[in-house]
Structure 1
Amino acid sequence: MALYRKRDSATAGEDGRVRRRESIVPLSAGHACVDFYQGAVTALVPFFVAERSYTYAAASGIVLAASLLSSLAQPLFGALTDRRALPWLLPVSTLLAGAGTAFAGVIASYATTLTLVAIAGIGVAAYHPESARLARRASRGSHTAMGWFSLGGNLGFACAPLLVALVMAGGGLGLTPVLIVPALVGAALCAPALRGADTGSAARTGARTGGADLRSFAVLTLTLICRSVVFIGLGTFISLYAQERTGGGASAGAIALFLLYLGGAAGTVVGGRLADRWDRVTVVRWSCLLTLPAVAGVVLVPGPALYLFVLLTSAGLYIPFSLQVTLGQDYLPNHVGTASGITLGLTISVGGLASPLIGALADATSLRTALAPLIVLPALAWLLVRLLAEPPAPPLAEPAPRPPLSGVGSTGG
């Protein structure tokens, strides 16, 4: 009997790891497809400038439109998913993000373009809280698994500038409807995740019975806003800045944007591994220190060396990203959807609010002068993280009971 129990335990553990991998993979792939559209909006900015003669301020308004409604809607979607699981949001929101982006380049009206990218932003907003809830449930507390989920989004970001540049090279903004293809793929990838998803009250897997740590969550939110302003600010203007600093053309800008997103993909995986060895707050604190000189290098170093600092900046910004999401969930243990909506959505979107200010300053002075204030924000984030403490780990959900082996522990009659 002991041998059977030991074998059952080992088999259950292996099955749990397999189920976790099977659940995270489609969620991560779907995350890549929807976050492609966040990267695509910023990747389209140089083409709007070139084909429609937008000023820096007008071009940054495109990013603002995608971010503003998303910033307001994402916590609302998070609160909804705290009350009831809404897995159908994953395919619907992916298609909405794709449709808004795909048709933004077809109509020349600036107001219509803003409306379409705003619709894309709502799609992105609707996707993240529910997907983060399902991913946390599937990960069963593993920082590495949540890192793989975040990696999917980062890869979507990273692919966006290259795919957008490839499509635009074939016919300019008139070919943006081709960009709906990732949305169609992403909606199809959601099917495996939806089959095993709960459809009643939102499962609070790993929730603790203790109260929320609102102070720590507020400090974490401010830290994420600092990160967001740096990332969105660079994402909006790095293509144009790379062309200016290296003397290259559109390809030089596309490479810089690709590296900004690619470094994030690598950083996310590294962050999960580091957090499995050290605590999350320590990893977040050291990543802030790494980011400070990296951002300074982006702004101040000319020539091809710029690309190295873009890569280091991206890694520094993304090593703590999935860790900050799970920290937010643990600081608000009974409102995981709301925490996800704020950490994955509101704080990221706030960065878009700063983009028009950077653009206006660039129009009045220079792009280098406008980007210089970004150097201060990693230092501010480091000071804020020093106020945080690692929350107690939430209990893992128990695996589904396995049926007894034939003839072992059964009451067959």
Structure 2
Amino acid sequence: MSQPATVGTARQTANFMLLGVSMAHLLNDAMQNIVPAAFPIFQKSMQLSFTQIGWVAFTLNLTASVLQPLIGSYTDRKPMPALLPLGMVFTLLGMIGLAFSSGLWMLIVSAAFIGVGSSVLHPESSRVAHLAAGNSKGLAQSIFQVGGNTGQALAPLMAAYIISPQGQLGFLWFTLLALIGIVVQRYVSRWYTGQIHLQNRPERRSSGESDFTRPKVFVFFVLGTLIMLLFSKFVYLAGMTGFYSFYYMERYQLPLESAQMSLFALQFSGMLGTLLGGPLADRFGRKKIIWFSILGTAPFSLWLPYAGPVASVFLCLAIGAILMSGFSVIIVYAQEMLPGKVGTIAGLFFGLSFGMAGLGSVVLGWLIDQTGVAFVIQLCAYLPLIGILALLLPKDSRLMSQ
């Protein structure tokens, strides 16, 4: 076989692997997000308070938050392809646990299993996307991320049309998704193992060491600013995915299925926003897309609590498309600052996103018990205004020159 044909075959295989991890991301995030989407069902069947619901969300997100940076940092030094299918095994156990949970503690344990599965998937699958990307790192991260957003978009519909009619036993259907995920990740892990063997390890170590030539003050300032932006984004999303259904049903006196349509609109448009975010950042600059993705959400988020049921669907479409366009861009922005720490950055940012969402769920759940769901949804509407901090980020050219 000629060299061009060999290169073409390798490129095609890499593209399939990129689609594979995107599919695994879809399955993982669909199963992970079915948990908050089913909160009204758990509350009714188990007589849970909003604070208790918040603890379930906290556990789900905290396990991922704590483990992801640790896994990412470790696998930067010692890649572990076998973790890819193993993560789906934990998610499978979590789905079985949710189907048979009889009380709060069993819900919390099941949520922890799902969180562990997610903590394994994100840093390692993000590394696979990075390896498979070639020279299109931004686009590859968007393709990987859009799989997750698609899963998030499908979760409210799955809750409305599978879990709601069948109750908790409906979670058994999701074990099929976990089994498919195990097969996909096993296939990807074999390619990943081959790529590790092809890499020149001394060159990888020397490139990793060069990351630390950047001034620590500069690195901490950029990371701190990005973390504040993640806080505004993911606490707002925690309020929407965990509690907006309650607000919608209370304000408009409509059933859960109607409320889930607004959340589906939020997640579906978020999928499109994620897919467009990478290419737009390549054209207009990463910093511009980052600040627009959060601050640009504010007019729509501030209007949402006072809109009618029909208008809320269109506002959720706008919020999702704008807000979700920046996450993959934030990750690539940080990875360009520390290019030898792909897994660490992916683990840190995915972990922080889950941790902030988890803590936000607990605080928001407690606040709802104290003040009511309407006050909290109206309060969350102001969070995207924190996006103004993105103006403090260095320009793309300055970031690369430091």
Normalising by the residue count of structure 2, what TM-score does the alignment of the two structures yield? Answer: 0.89
For 1:315-330, what aligned pairs fall within 5 Å after superposition? Answer: 315-330=321-336
CA distance in 2, matches of 1:12, 1:374: 53
Aligned ranges 1:203-242 → 2 under 5 Å: 209-211=210-212, 212=214, 213-242=219-248
2:344 is aligned, of 315, 338, 353, to 338
Query: Would you say the 8 A contact 2:225–2:389 is kept in 1?
Result: no
Partner of 1:399: none
Q: What residue in structure 2 maps to residue 260 of structure 1?
A: 266
Q: Tell me if structure 2 keeps the 8 A contact 1:217–1:332.
A: no
The alpha carbon displacement at 1:222 in A equals 2.0
Q: What is aligned with 1:179? A: 174
Any gaps of 5 or more consecutive residues in structure 2? none
Aligned to 1:115: 109
In the aligned structure 2, how far is the partner of 1:296 from the partner of 1:371?
10
Question: Greater Rg, structure 1 or structure 2?
Answer: 1
Contact 1:246 1:304 in 2 (8 A): no
* Distance in 1 (alpha carbons) for counterparts of 2:351 and 2:145: 13
Alignment partner for residue 148 of structure 2, among 131, 140, 153?
Answer: 153
Summarize the Cα distance change of 1:127–1:40 in structure 2 as closer, same or farther, 3 Å threshold. same
CA distance in 1, matches of 2:398, 2:343: 19
Matched, 1:352 2:358: yes
**Retained in 1: the 8 A contact 2:234–2:357?**
yes
| Residue number among 374, 383, 389 corresponding to 1:377 in the alignment | 383
Matched residues in 2 for 1:240 and 1:273: separation? 36
Partner of 1:78: 72
Counting aligned pairs with the same residue, the percent is 27
After TM superposition, give the deviation of residue 141 of structure 1 in Å: 4.0
Q: CA deviation at 1:28?
A: 0.6
* Structure 1 unaligned regions, length at least 5: 1-6, 395-413
Residues 284 and 385, structure 1, Cα contact 8 Å, conserved in 2: no
Cα distance in 2, alignment partners of residues 376 and 58 from structure 1: 25
1:70 touches 1:122 (CA, 8 Å); kept in 2? yes
Structure-2 separation of matches of 1:76 and 1:342? 8
1:16-60 per-position Cα deviation (integer Å, ceiling 9, x unaligned): 653442221111111111111221111110101121221222222
Distance 1:352 1:88, change over 3 A: same
Judge conservation of contact 2:295–2:387 (CA < 8 Å) in 1. no
Moved more, 82-91 or 136-145: 136-145
| CA spacing shift, 1:144–1:335, aligned 2, 3 Å | closer
After TM superposition, give the deviation of residue 331 of structure 1 in Å: 2.3
Do the aligned partners of 2:41 and 2:164 also contact (CA within 8 Å) in 1? no
**Aligned 8 A contact 2:152 2:267 in 1:** yes
Greater mean deviation of Cα atoms: 102-111 or 16-25: 16-25
1:124 to 111, 118, 122: 118
- Inter-CA distance 248–221: structure 2 relative to 1 (3 Å threshold): same
- Deviations along 1:217-244, one digit per CA (max 9) or x if unpaired, are 2221221122111111211012222222
Which stretch shows the higher mean deviation, 187-196 or 305-314?
A: 187-196
TM score, norm. by length of structure 1: 0.87
* Alignment partner of 2:60 out of 46, 66, 82: 66
Structure-to-structure mapping, 1:31-50, within 5 angstroms: 31-50=25-44
For 1:174 and 1:238, how far apart are their aligned partners in 2? 24
Matched residue, 1:27: 21
- 1:299, 1:371 within 8 Å by CA — same for their partners in 2? yes
Q: Structure 2 CA distance, aligned partners of 1:248 and 1:274? A: 38
* Deviation string, structure 1 residues 268-290 (Cα, Å, up to 9, x no partner): 11112201212111111122232
- Secondary structure in 1 matching 2:98: coil
User: Could you tell me how far apart the structure 2 residues matched to 1:377 and 1:267 are?
Assistant: 19
Once superposed, what is the RMSD of the aligned Cα atoms?
Answer: 2.4
Q: CA separation in 2, counterparts of 1:255 and 1:165?
A: 9
| Partner residue of 1:136 out of 130, 136, 142 | 130
How many Å separate the matches in 2 of 1:188 and 1:151?
A: 20
